[in-house]
Structure 1
Amino acid sequence: MVKTELRVIYGDTDQMGVVYYGNYLRFFEAGRNEFIRAKGLRYRDFEEAYALRLPVVDAQVSYRSPARYDDLVAVETSLAEVRRASARFEYRIVRGGELLATGSTVHACVDLEGRVRRMPPELLSRLSVGEAPAGPGKGA
């Protein structure tokens, strides 16, 4: 699990003063990028090295309690499953000890033309399902 702290900015909130529901997916993306970075690889480097992309093909969010402007929240990101051509990440968003939201995203591995491809063995060796990283990783 990799923990990423974010400060809620005013632009993340709706008219009611709480984080707009769609912005939780942005928080998931921030957590996912930091997860990959903690494994020693920047997402940009992955795209360039392998000429592959990992688009979201499924997303799920369960909301429990609202985050508000200026809250410091943590996105806890884990890689739950890796298949030949897809990966599923799970997320928990917390404020202090309070669970605000949970969710997951599934990503297909595709080439630049959008055709499904197998995950490269080198990438699979860097990603460990359910393991916490030893340090911040390269390219931080």
Structure 2
Amino acid sequence: MKTNYHFQVRWGDTDAAGIVYYPNFYKWMDDATHAYLAAIGYPSSELFEKQKIGVPLLEANCIFKRPLLFEDQVVVKSYVEELHNKVFKIKHVFVRGDQVVAEGYGVRAWTSFKEEKPKAQPIPDNIREKMLPQVEAVEG
């Protein structure tokens, strides 16, 4: 299962030529990650408020295939590509119409903020179960 995060490119997301400034892709991947967590029933705000759990970013990458422009309608299709004990890799595919315009990922750690120093924790089984069906086979 993939979740879909929809947005429209705003003028402030672009440079003087009307092309999206590349750091915005990372912002949208972050937004899509939080939308993914909400879609599987674990909104980031509730995780942090009730359990002091966050999912800080350890690594991110994005490959740009085509430019996005002001007012483009975009869907970010997200799914867990790898699931480990304390860490997961979430893939994001940016689609405009029928074109893939970018692909990226974020590696995130399931982290407790209960103590003074954040510490990675095992992803609870009930949450892993929600993520597992979304792990997609990687062809190679």
TM range (shorter): 0.7 to 0.9
Q: 1:129 to 1:103 in 2, by over 3 A?
A: farther
Following superposition, which runs of at least 4 residues in structure 1 exceed 4 angstroms of deviation? none
- Matching residue of 1:116: 120
Match of 2:40 in 1: 39
* Alpha-carbon shift at residue 129 of structure 1 (Å): 4.3
1:38-60 deviations in Å (ceiling 9; x for gaps): 11221111222332211000000
Give the structure 1 partner of residue 11 of structure 2.
10
TM-score (norm 2): 0.87
Residue 36 of structure 1: SS of its match in structure 2? Answer: helix
Asked whether the equivalents of residues 44 and 54 of structure 2 are also in contact (C-alpha less than 8 Å), the reply is no
- Output the CA distance in 1 between the equivalents of 2:123 and 2:48: 12
Gaps of 5+ in 1: 132-140
The size of the alignment, in residue pairs, is 132
Secondary structure of the residue aligned to 1:127 is helix
Q: Percent identity?
A: 21
Higher relative contact order (CA 8 A, sep 6+): 1
8 Å CA contact 1:81, 1:129 repeated in 2: no
Root-mean-square deviation (CA, aligned residues, Å) is: 1.6
The correspondence for 1:126, drawn from 107, 124, 130, is 130
Q: Which position in structure 1 is the counterpart of 2:138? A: none
Alignment partner, residue 81 of structure 2: 80
Classify the secondary structure of the residue corresponding to 1:76. strand
When structure 1 is superposed on structure 2, of 92-101 and 38-47 the one drifting more is 38-47
Counterparts of 1:3 and 1:130, CA distance in 2:
13
